[in-house]
Amino acid sequence: MSGLVAFTLFHVLISLVGIVTGFAVVFGWISHRERPKLTLTFLVTTALTSLTGFGFPFARFLPSHAFGAVSLVLLPLAGVALYAFELRGIWRRVYIATALFALYLNMFVLVVQLFGKVPVLRAAAPTQTELPFALAQGVVLLAFVGLGWVTRDHAAVRSRPCTTTHGEPLAPSSQ
């Protein structure tokens, strides 16, 4: 196996791990289940996906590079919101927005790659300007807008201080 093939395989595997764990984290937000190990895996593998994307030979700056650069700005911000500010106040919204957008960018690139590499999809949209490609990207965008709406409500609810049924603040160990 050549070095480039091994590097490509590594890049694809961490991309898929980032996407799968990203969705697990998002659905954890919705179901109010914290998943710290999956969250860390999502953030790290998504950052590695963006970093390794710059390791492929290229003659010009591509949209995937722009997406990778944006992701590499978003992910540290998500990490700071989560680990430094512990999702207090506005930082919960910052975390959810940046992490969700980074996941969307990975999904957008996944669709691009699928239409570029899978023969039946490539035949349906050889230049990626055709209707099947636009529809696929539209479905992904709408799905993430929906997830953004649902998690926006979750972020607003969860960013309020937790209280008991009597309105008293919960002890830190209870939260």
Distances (CA, A) of 47 to 13, 28, 115, 128, 171: 13, 20, 23, 26, 35
Please give the Cα distance from 26 to 46 (Å, whole number): 14
159 and 93 Cβ atoms separated by less than 8 Å: yes
Which pLDDT score, from 0 to 100, does residue 159 have?
A: 44
**Where do the structural domains in the chain lie, given as residue ranges?**
3-174
User: In the structure, what pLDDT confidence band is assigned to residue 171 with cuts at 50, 70 and 90?
Assistant: very low
Model confidence, pTM: 0.85
Q: Do 107 and 144 form a contact (C-beta atoms < 8 A)?
A: yes
Q: In this predicted structure, what is the pLDDT of residue 120?
A: 97
Q: Which residues pair with 81 in a beta bridge?
A: none
Per-residue b or e along 31-61, where b marks 16 or more CB atoms closer than 10 Å to that residue's CB: eeeebeebbebbbbbbbbbbebbeeeeeeee
Q: What is the pLDDT of residue 58?
A: 87
Confidence bin at 32 (pLDDT 50/70/90) = confident
- Give the span between the Cα atoms of 18 and 20, in whole angstroms: 6
Would you say residue 87 has pLDDT above 60?
yes
Statement: residue 11 has pLDDT above 90 = yes
What's the angle, vertex CA 85, arms to CA 79 and CA 88, rounded to 5? 120
